[in-house]
Amino acid sequence: MIQLSPARLLASDLDGTILFQRTMSNNDVASLKRWHSQEPAGSHQLVCCTGKSLAATRYCIDQFGVPWDFYVMYTGAVVCDSDYRILHASTLGNDVMLEVWEFLSRVPGIAVYATTLDTEDVSLGESLPQGVATDMIQTFVPLDLARIPEHQFVGVPIWVPAEAAQVGTDIDDLQAQILARFGDVLDCHRNQDFLDIVPKGATKGSGLRWLLDYLSTGECPGAGEGAVQGVQESAACDGGRVELLTAGDSFNDLDMHRIADISASFPHSPAEVQAATTHVVGSMAEFIDLNLKH
């Protein structure tokens, strides 16, 4: 018997949770597969919940063969099924994109990227100190700013390395400035040394709430202004109660931890994140072991 609506849904962040230096441990991969294989089939499902774009997510994790049932990407702005078909998406207006870039182009010590629904991740520009680089965004192409109107933008990741302080840029101050200037039309979330600009109201928690509503009704809730039309159909769901488990190491995981029944952070997580979770564990494998014991 295949249970279409899961009894238990495990949502996992990527970087700093199960993805370290571009790889996943064999133990974590095996544990995720063990979670997914519980009987009855379909009762224990997996959600990849990340700030990464669709293109970056596929690039980073497809090689590991984890059987993800859903993807909540772009910090909650986009929800996809197991085949990366978009079920729900919100986007940033092109006029907003241009205004945001005009502001960020004057900030020293940062790198500014953008994510779209139809391209690889793109680079808008950078003012980084010499020799500073990150592996968090691994594939991107430069974008001619004149081509911004040709694309549907979902997010603006901003890398603010520790070295930015040498030229007067503080990540918390920059986040506050972005929200003060643009907070009526967008949100800005912190993830360690990155800021993620996303459509207003988009969080990992809001993306998971959308998915839980979808699973409970079998219908796609209204996505509101900025939503992308042409939602894909999915299997009907039986509307049963779903227990939500979340695992995430950083600040942008707080919103999904708040709505979880059971949640996990890690010893390397900031103290605020640890305090917000029901468990602090050494690995995803440990978290799954704890929750598969009877």
Q: What's the pLDDT score for residue 129? A: 78
CATH of domain 8-90+202-292: 3.40.50.1000
Whose tokens are 């643009």? That residue is 182
How far apart are the C-alpha atoms of 14 and 54, rounded to whole Å?
13
Is the sign of the CA dihedral 263, 233, 76, 180 positive or negative? negative
Whole-number mean pLDDT of the chain? 88
- On the question of a common fold for 8-90+202-292 and 94-199, the answer reads no
Q: Is pLDDT of 224 > 80?
A: no
CA distances to 30, 39, 50 from 256, in Å: 24, 26, 11
Which residues lie across from 70 on neighbouring strands? 47, 81
94-199 carries CATH number 3.30.1240.10: yes
Q: Is pLDDT of 229 > 60?
A: no
Q: What's the pLDDT score for residue 138? A: 58
How far apart are the C-alpha atoms of 73 and 138, rounded to whole Å?
16
Q: What's the pLDDT score for residue 5? A: 64
Q: Spell out the residues 6+ positions from residue 111 whose beta carbon is closer than 8 angstroms to its own.
A: 123, 125, 126, 127, 128, 134, 158, 159
Question: Parallel, antiparallel, or unpaired: how do β-strands 111-116 and 86-89 relate?
Answer: unpaired
- Give domain limits for the chain: 8-90+202-292, 94-199
105 exposed, middle or buried (CB, 10 Å; 0-12, 13-18, 19+)?
A: middle
Backbone angles phi, psi at 93, to 5 degrees: -65, 150
pLDDT tens sequence across 41-73: 999 999 999 999 998 899 999 999 999 999 999
In this prediction, residue 240 has a pLDDT band, given cuts at 50, 70 and 90, of low
